Amino acid sequence: MLFAVCSIALAFLFALILSLGMRSKTIQRITGILLLFTGISGVFLYGYGYTYLYHNIVQAAARTLFSVFCMFLGRNEISAISSVPLLSNPYMQLYIYTVHLLALYCTASAVITTLGARLILSLRLMLQRRTNLHVIYGTNADTVRFAMELHQSEKGFIVLIDTGLGNAFEADIIRMGALIVSSNDAADPAALLKKVGMRPGKRRITLYCLDERFSENLSYAEAMRQALSAASVAPEQTSLTILLADGSRGATLQASDNRYGYGSVSAFERAELLTRLMVHTYPPYETVCFDDTACATEDFEALIVGFGATGQAVLRALIMNGQFEHSRFRASVFSEDRIQRAGCFSAKYPAIEKNYDVRFYNMNIRSMEAADLIRTRFSHLNYVAICTGNAKENAEIEAELSAQLHSCGVHPTIVTLFADKISRISEEDGLIRTDSVFTPEILCANRLDRMAMLLNHKYHEKDGRSVSEDWSNCDYFSRMSCRAAADYVDAFLFAAKTDRKEIAAGDFSLSETVLDNLSRMEHLRWCAFHYAMGYQAMPSEVFRERAARYQTLVQENGNTRYRIGKDTEKQLHACLIPWEELPALSERECDVTGKYVDYREMDRNNVCMIIDMLKAKEIVRD
């Protein structure tokens, strides 16, 4: 009997600890109901008892209140009313003790919750020491929502680093079974790695530095890099997604031959992240019609409202993703303060305005002057991006501009970009669709870089390395190039009037005409990427100087890997010329090196490589 009593009591106690430790919404509601139930029951029981024992109403009421408070503090006054006939009944005694137990349960919930949460997390840490680890630096509403989606879609254990707002979301974090590290421990990644049992092996760790303070993101990523190096965790076990003020600084965190770093680095400026979401969700190619030869039947014209950091990123993204054969790219930018804000942009990307029809209007899009321009100048628009930096103004412009364009018979894709999301008014029902950047589809490298990794692997297929090994050996700029090419894959398929399923089923083949036009389209895309990354066409005199340098190196060393047509330091490339001029470049380079490189054929090979890859249904495996 003793064993049975103890077993039942321990089972109930453990169940209470676990239920409170989980702190689900249902448990919280039940606790609130129990609190109300026990309070009313206590007043009834003690009120009845003291009314029977005392004939003074005030004395009975005061003693009742005192006893009910004692009940919630873990002290009972049962002996004082046990002589009352009705309450001395065994069933009433069971009811009395149940009410007191429930009252104690409600009072001790805070203590038991902490104990239960720690117990659960300890068990999970122990059980998941072999699963992948996701560490999120920066605790706010966006990152907690991202963690919840990550919890639903990705296998592994999630750890959030409290950067000041963790307490506000602690209940949500505990509910999803994640671990939140307090700010006192957050500055020590080495202690965290030890706590979660991260060591050399096959287990992977992905760090997401998503704090609003970009300098703090960089500091924590660097501290974690050093801790991982000290723990001898291999770079291929690691991945980093980080928000920075300057995305190019992510290159310093990537592994190289002479420096330990993360195996995969996805560094984004917030504006760049928004525009990548934009072109993935509302791709420019879907706004253009193509004929049966993969040629566009119309020009691509965009209108951008606002030219701060986001507006500048939008222009670059549309240039990279709005190049189609037989189509001319045009963009109009409305910004009252462009001259004051665009100096750095012009310095970083000097070739954009030289090579593309980009027109700037120093006026408010809501002005009468702008309204006249819209009526007379913009009879055809494919794409509109609104990004003033002010959420209220964005929403007002979206509604007004949409109505104004529709009244003129113009129906472009209109996308509004906010601080951490994009929105669009549906043409079908008029409802606003919103998409957040804080989703696994955008922030998880294993999803975002899947196609890029395969493309890079195809370039190095003869080397005999795996997909992951090739990606680890890929420099930062080349990764950016692969990502840009991967983002454009569906544009090729759309122009060729096919899709991934049809190609995978083996029911599609490229005609010579379609292949030629897709190759031209690939060259347009490749040039746009380089211009949008700051490259310029190599002047003839620089080419001649580099050709002379090449010949000198060959004479001195017998051979050299020196590239005549590409200067990465000065960001110059000889291939940034029209498609028709590529054969002449190949001949000019062959005269120096003795080797003929068909640059047109390289574009064709890139297109064929994409088709072959999709036919093979290749996937990335860890």
Q: How do residues 350-391 score in pLDDT, each as one tens digit?
A: 999 999 999 999 999 999 999 999 888 888 999 999 999 899
Mean pLDDT of 435-454: 83
The lowest-confidence range among 8-12, 191-195, 560-564 is 8-12
**Count of CA atoms in the C-beta half-sphere (13 A) of 178:** 33
- pLDDT of 306 strictly over 50: yes
Choose between 381 and 64: higher pLDDT: 381
* Residue 532 main-chain phi, psi, to 5 deg: -75, -10
* Residue 414 main-chain phi, psi, to 5 deg: -110, 115
pLDDT of residue 63: 81
**Count of CA atoms in the C-beta half-sphere (13 A) of 448:** 27
On the 0-12 / 13-18 / 19+ scale of CB atoms within 10 A, 2 is exposed
On the 0-12 / 13-18 / 19+ scale of CB atoms within 10 A, 149 is middle
Mean pLDDT of 182-192: 72
Tokens of 35: 């609190």
Instruction: Give the pLDDT band (50/70/90) at residue 621.
Output: very low
The lowest-confidence range among 106-120, 273-287, 432-446, 525-539 is 106-120
The C-alpha atoms of residue 476 and residue 275 are separated, in whole angstroms, by: 20
Query: What angle separates helix 599-615 from helix 450-459, to the nearest 10 degrees?
Result: 130
Q: Of the ranges 61-70, 216-225, 371-380, which is most confident?
A: 216-225
pLDDT of residue 459: 80
pLDDT of residue 423: 93
- pLDDT of 604 strictly over 90: yes
Mean pLDDT of 77-82: 76
pLDDT of residue 12: 57
Choose between 180 and 386: higher pLDDT: 386
pLDDT of residue 247: 79
Choose between 328 and 466: higher pLDDT: 328
How would you label 240-269 residue by residue, b for 16+ Cβ within 10 Å and e otherwise?
Answer: bbbbbeebeebbbbbbeeeebbbbbbbbbb
Which residues have CB under 8 Å from 605's CB, separation 6+?
none
Per residue in 7-39, pLDDT (tens digit) is 655 565 555 555 544 444 556 667 777 778 887
pLDDT of residue 396: 93
Q: Which CATH superfamily is domain 129-268 in?
A: NAD(P)-binding Rossmann-like Domain (3.40.50.720)
Please, what is the average pLDDT of the chain? Answer: 84
Q: Of the ranges 59-68, 72-81, 349-358, which is most confident?
A: 349-358
- pLDDT of 62 strictly over 90: no
What is the DSSP pairing of strand 566-567 with strand 572-573?
Answer: antiparallel
pLDDT of residue 96: 77
* CATH code for residues 275-441: 3.40.50
- pLDDT of 589 strictly over 70: yes
pLDDT of residue 250: 82
Instruction: Give the pLDDT band (50/70/90) at residue 169.
Output: confident
pLDDT of residue 65: 82
- pLDDT of 120 strictly over 60: no
- pLDDT of 128 strictly over 70: no
Instruction: Give the pLDDT band (50/70/90) at residue 111.
Output: low
pLDDT of residue 112: 53
Per residue in 146-159, pLDDT (tens digit) is 999 888 887 888 88
R_g of the chain computed on alpha carbons: 33
CA distances, 272 to each of 217, 278, 616 (Å)? 16, 10, 32
- pLDDT of 619 strictly over 50: no
Choose between 256 and 220: higher pLDDT: 220
Which residues have CB under 8 Å from 121's CB, separation 6+?
177, 179
The lowest-confidence range among 55-69, 104-118, 119-133, 275-289 is 104-118
Which residues have CB under 8 Å from 17's CB, separation 6+?
112, 115, 116, 119
Mean pLDDT of 569-576: 95
Choose between 107 and 562: higher pLDDT: 562
Mean pLDDT of 464-478: 77
Per residue in 335-344, pLDDT (tens digit) is 987 767 777 8
Bridge partners (DSSP) of residue 180 are: 160
The C-alpha atoms of residue 59 and residue 43 are separated, in whole angstroms, by: 14
**pTM of the predicted model, to two decimals?**
0.77
pLDDT of residue 319: 97
Domain ranges of the chain: 11-111, 129-268, 275-441, 508-615
pLDDT of residue 69: 79
pLDDT of residue 81: 78
- pLDDT of 113 strictly over 80: no
